[in-house]
Amino acid sequence: MHFSSRVERLGGKGSTAWGIHFRGVEAQRRGEDVILLSVGDPDFDSAPNINAALKASLDAGDTHYGDIPGHPALRAAIAKYHTRLTGQEVEAGNVVVMAGAQSAMFAAAQVLLGPGDAVIVPSPRYVTYEALIGAAGASIVDVPLYPERGFHLDPADLEKAAAQPHVRGLMLTTPNNPTGAVMTREEVEAVADVAKRRDLWVLTDEVYASLAHERPHISPASLPGMAERAITVCSLSKSHAMTGFRIGWAVGPKDFVEQYCRLVLCMIYSCPPFIQAAAIEAIEGDQSAQKRMKEAYRARGRLVFERLGQSPHLSCHRPEGGMFVMVDVRRTGLSADAFANGLFEEERVTTLVGDAFGPEAGGHLRLSMTYDLPAMEEACNRILRFADRHAKRG
Amino acid sequence: MHFSSRVERLGGKGSTAWGIHFRGVEAQRRGEDVILLSVGDPDFDSAPNINAALKASLDAGDTHYGDIPGHPALRAAIAKYHTRLTGQEVEAGNVVVMAGAQSAMFAAAQVLLGPGDAVIVPSPRYVTYEALIGAAGASIVDVPLYPERGFHLDPADLEKAAAQPHVRGLMLTTPNNPTGAVMTREEVEAVADVAKRRDLWVLTDEVYASLAHERPHISPASLPGMAERAITVCSLSKSHAMTGFRIGWAVGPKDFVEQYCRLVLCMIYSCPPFIQAAAIEAIEGDQSAQKRMKEAYRARGRLVFERLGQSPHLSCHRPEGGMFVMVDVRRTGLSADAFANGLFEEERVTTLVGDAFGPEAGGHLRLSMTYDLPAMEEACNRILRFADRHAKRG
């Protein structure tokens, strides 16, 4: 069968990174004692009030086509929630509901990027970005985020990247997956400065915005002069443990919303009305479950940081936000790949090799904080044991 | 904001066709007695056993990320259902679950078509095709379907189109929206013949397959030598009144499935597990509601065809399948646009102007059969009254 030239650009390192994870899942299904720290799926379930809202909507017969940009009530709820998360004042007309942040990012790339265009994306970055930019026909200009800077941006590197030809905008993630870094005010100001100076748009994936633990979340959209050029993508997947609901959104200026809806119509048409009802309850209903989850991720991050930090062979980046910790295994003398494979074989802990996210994360493993504290402690013990056993003697 | 060149190709006549519909919805909300024959959203609700399956899945905690190609049990169920609908033997590995047929078509175009490629699409055609082909960067080679042939394909026109440069494949719809035609065996054989001779793929939208009333549904995929080049898109939206569930699929050869899944991962990631559970129940559970709906559409189609056929000013195409009837208003001396606007203003019936689907449907209105028989009868009375009042005297 003849495929489009696009398919050559849908792969990338990211897509092969999940080998250990899939082996782990299989071993777990065989009944083995595996701790899966390889995916970002919350161990929490969606709160009962959210599920109840979905059922009530279903019972009310909300099973027909929804509005293309989303239900007006959900758009209004998201607008308020966006203001709570970012400080930026927006209204329902700035919001388009999408089938999760992944689809919102894909659609944004389609609308903003075409063949010949380039977009600045810091590296390491989330594994699907290359594919969705490739699908849009555009190319990436890298900005390296080095572990020595805690994976924070060097404004000089950003400036250099922005001077490249055909650059139309920036695609950012804060709090970051995989690095766990939360962009500082200085970084976001540097982004806003270059974007305004060079007339670039800024598309930011902020799905971990509500999980900024050690540093306040700052959205590029909230800075002066940015509303007209900033698009913010978010979802309820991580904040409200709703990964399986596939509900997210994009917030942007009205001219963006207009073009975006034309794409949404032909890309997915609309989102299930009963899921939108659940999303309204998630945003406007009781937030206690959400607060408990946020505290849990914070406590787990601190535990892992402290426990792994005790090893002479490992160093851990303090997770500033999100649900991941990056662990530097370079002092063990093992490659991240060898460490991750050995750790799975000998200790039945699955992790994701940092290289999947970009060369700057080479020698690192990404750990998901998706188990309760005793299990996270057990995972740390296994990792420490493996590191002790295999670290080369200095 | 700078948009990609793609956005210029997301519009088209289709997107402006809904004006009367939106005015009709507003009038209905004001309490006016409007009959909306402008959209294809079933007046039936999803059956209770389907909703119950969704709730049970939700209660079981199936609220986390699903598998990218879909749940294995749903893929297996769809494979069997596909065989039931088309006669083509496939297995779960040939199936990818998608968020509705719209997203399945969009994703297929992305994988099969790139800049410089062309695809044959008969006209009139469903309104979103131009946009999704445009998003993929490809162009359309028209094949006209004339009302004089009951909107059936002339193989000579197909042959001419296939000889155009850069043609990679065909995009078809059977049973057809808007025309209500079901492709005959001769037409499908002509398609298969040209596809095999010229090494083209055939992508067919078969969402009305289970609603083939007056002629058996024949899928291009079922013909000899077509399995390796045929992709069949279908959904539960129309057959099971599940438009709001956004659940559909693509069935194709394994090499297609492999590329398709790479796109699905970065485009939507996966579909909600509890909706997939509902889909399994829809396919494998009690089919009595589905059968009742099918009979209802058939009866409505016959009623409209007979009633409007009594007018000296109108001619009606006998609906062979699906949920639409095409009415030729040319003998009234009014344009389709003037007829549709007048009909709404004076009689409060909304319809869709045929021109939105292609010039061959000019002078026609598309009527949805989405009301019960008494209401459809009342709609016919209003249409007949309007036609009588405004038809020019011969």
Same domain assignment for residues B313 and B246: no
Identify the three-state secondary structure at position A178: coil
Q: What percent of chain B has pLDDT over 90?
A: 93
Same domain assignment for residues A343 and A385: yes
Residue A131: which of B55, B243, B266 has the nearest Cβ? B266
Q: Is residue B63 part of a domain?
A: yes
**At residue B18, does pLDDT exceed 90?**
no
CA distance B125 to chain A (A): 14
Q: How confident is the model at residue B31 (pLDDT cuts 50, 70, 90)?
A: very high
Q: Do A100 and B6 touch (CB under 8 A)?
A: no
Residue B23 and residue B46: Cα distance in Å, rounded? Answer: 27
Nearest chain A residue (CA) to B2: A112
Q: What percent of chain B has pLDDT over 70?
A: 98
Check residue A393 and give its pLDDT: 66
Check residue A125 and give its pLDDT: 96
Residue A111: which of B4, B46, B275 has the nearest Cβ? B4
Q: Do B275 and A273 touch (CB under 8 A)?
A: no
| DSSP-assigned states of every residue in A298-343 | HHHHHHHHHHHHT-SS-EEPPP-BSSEEEEE-GGGTS-HHHHHHHH
Q: Is residue B84 part of a domain?
A: yes
**At residue A15, does pLDDT exceed 80?**
no
Chain B residues close to A117, C-beta within 8 Å: 4
Residue B314's CB is within 10 A of a number of other CB atoms, namely 24
Check residue A258 and give its pLDDT: 95
Element (H, E) at B139: strand B139-144
Last residue of a domain, one of A234, A269, A284: A284
Q: Do B270 and A246 touch (CB under 8 A)?
A: yes
Nearest chain A residue (CA) to B254: A1
Count of helix runs (H) and strand runs (E) in chain A: 12, 13
Last residue of a domain, one of B266, B284, B302: B284
Mean pLDDT of chain B: 95
Last residue of a domain, one of A268, A284, A300: A284
Nearest chain A residue (CA) to B262: A10
**At residue B1, does pLDDT exceed 90?**
no
Residue A166: strand pairing partners: none
What is the mean predicted confidence (pLDDT) over A16-44?
A: 91
Residue A387 and residue B259: Cα distance in Å, rounded? Answer: 38
Same domain assignment for residues B90 and B206: yes
Identify the three-state secondary structure at position B367: strand
Check residue A354 and give its pLDDT: 94
Same domain assignment for residues B211 and B277: yes
Same domain assignment for residues B261 and B318: no
Residue B300 and residue B324: Cα distance in Å, rounded? Answer: 10
Give B188-217 pLDDT, tens digit per residue: 999 999 999 999 999 999 999 999 999 999
Identify the three-state secondary structure at position A292: helix
Domain CATH code at residue A350: 3.90.1150.10
DSSP A212: B
CA distance B142 to chain A (A): 19
**At residue B313, does pLDDT exceed 80?**
yes
Check residue B392 and give its pLDDT: 79
Q: Is residue A161 part of a domain?
A: yes
Alpha helices in B285-372 (DSSP H): 288-309, 336-347
Give B327-339 pLDDT, tens digit per residue: 999 999 999 999 9
CA distance A371 to chain B (A): 15
Same domain assignment for residues A41 and A57: no
Q: Is residue B277 part of a domain?
A: yes
Residue reference for tokens 């549904």:
B217
Sign of CA dihedral B103, B108, B110, B115: negative
Q: Do A63 and B168 touch (CB under 8 A)?
A: no
Q: How confident is the model at residue A17 (pLDDT cuts 50, 70, 90)?
A: confident
Q: Is residue B199 part of a domain?
A: yes
Check residue A1 and give its pLDDT: 84
Residue B303's CB is within 10 A of a number of other CB atoms, namely 18
Q: Do B112 and A269 touch (CB under 8 A)?
A: no
Check residue A37 and give its pLDDT: 97
Could you tell me which residues come within 8 angstroms of residue B220 by beta carbon, excluding any fewer than 6 positions away? Answer: B172, B188, B191, B192, B195, B202, B204, B226, B230, B232
Q: Do B115 and A266 touch (CB under 8 A)?
A: no
Q: Do A51 and B39 touch (CB under 8 A)?
A: no
**At residue B239, does pLDDT exceed 90?**
yes
Domain CATH code at residue A217: 3.40.640.10
Residue B58: which of A51, A66, A267 has the nearest Cβ? A51
Q: Is residue A394 part of a domain?
A: no
Q: How confident is the model at residue B17 (pLDDT cuts 50, 70, 90)?
A: confident
ipTM for this prediction: 0.96
CA distance B63 to chain A (A): 4
Nearest chain B residue (CA) to A55: B55
Give B147-165 pLDDT, tens digit per residue: 999 999 999 999 999 999 9
How far from A353 is each of A365, A379, B31, B184, B317, CA to CA, in Å? 5, 16, 60, 54, 61
Q: How many structural domains compose chain B?
A: 2
Same domain assignment for residues B218 and B294: no
Same domain assignment for residues B59 and B112: yes
Same domain assignment for residues B297 and B251: no
Give B116-144 pLDDT, tens digit per residue: 999 999 999 999 999 999 999 999 999 99
Same domain assignment for residues B203 and B122: yes
Same domain assignment for residues B298 and B238: no
Q: How confident is the model at residue B100 (pLDDT cuts 50, 70, 90)?
A: very high
Q: Do A262 and B131 touch (CB under 8 A)?
A: yes
Sign of CA dihedral B355, B328, B40, B213: negative
Q: Is residue A100 part of a domain?
A: yes
Mean pLDDT of chain A: 95
Same domain assignment for residues B59 and B36: no
How far from B113 is each of A2, A105, A115, B200, CA to CA, in Å? 9, 21, 14, 12
Residue A390 and residue A384: Cα distance in Å, rounded? Answer: 10
Q: Is residue B394 part of a domain?
A: no
Nearest chain A residue (CA) to B229: A1
Owning domain of residue B9:
5-45+289-389
Starting at the edge strand found earlier in the chain, the sheet holding A95-98 runs A95-98, A248-251, A230-235, A201-205, A167-173, A118-123, A139-144
C-alpha B300 chain-centroid distance: 18
